Structure 1
């Protein structure tokens, strides 16, 4: 089983810290649908724009989102692969029993009973 190497552990810690906040999770869920301009992202949240920008900064520092500015408009999008380190870590936490059950399921899925 592959273990998280130290640099990936720091990356994982940053992702988990970023996703610990419900506002940031909501932003990630929204951005999973499509990129959005900051004003559109801010609309559903009862907070000042600087507070929302701070949340976006945390997500960007964790490598989960990217943004680009065109004139006065900033567009934010999910960074492809940003959640990969979390996915890898979660996969490593699966128990041997879960892995054995997966192998059994794969084996049984290949078995097709003969029609009578």
Structure 2
């Protein structure tokens, strides 16, 4: 049985909403965990665990200043996420282009059946 990797990848790290909030918070300035934890309704230990996962993914860096560690965002690993998402942008752009064509065609007066919007609207699974 293979051992699980000790490092988290970017996708695992950003999967949690708290960690995404941490990244947003640290995008503006470097902060110690005591200040960071004040922004969340959880213990400092819980915040530290989230920071550790982000650090393992390379998304945050910590540096010692006296007795505290200050954390900051390192956005470089997010390039992997951006490259992965770039492939799927073509699907979004296609839907937006279809919507733009529909709106600009002037067929919003009710003469065109709503069925033509099916290509734009997501379908519900029953």
Q: Which residue of 79, 84, 91 corresponds with 1:84?
A: 79
1:62 aligns with 2:57: yes
Q: How does 1:1-116 map to 2 (within 5 A)?
A: 14-95=9-90, 98=93
Conservation of the 8 A alpha-carbon contact between 1:31 and 1:77: yes
Paired residues of 1:65 and 1:82 also in contact (CA < 8 A): no
Higher relative contact order (CA 8 A, sep 6+): 1
TM-score, scaled to structure 1: 0.67
Distance 2:36 2:91 in 1: 41
Higher relative helix content: 1
Structure 1: gaps of 5 or more residues: 1-12, 103-116
In the alignment, the residues of structure 2 paired with residue 40 and residue 93 of structure 1 have an alpha-carbon distance, to the nearest angstrom, of 37
Provide the rounded CA distance (Å) in 1 between the counterparts of 2:52 and 2:34: 15
Q: Secondary structure at the match of 2:9?
A: helix
Q: Structure 1 residue 43: deviation in Å?
A: 0.3
Which runs of no fewer than 5 residues in structure 2 stay unpaired? 1-7, 98-126
SS at match of 2:69: strand
Q: Compute the RMSD of aligned alpha carbons.
A: 2.4
The structure with the largest alpha-carbon Rg is: 2
Q: Alignment length, in residue pairs?
A: 90
What is the TM-score when the length of structure 2 is the normalising length?
0.62
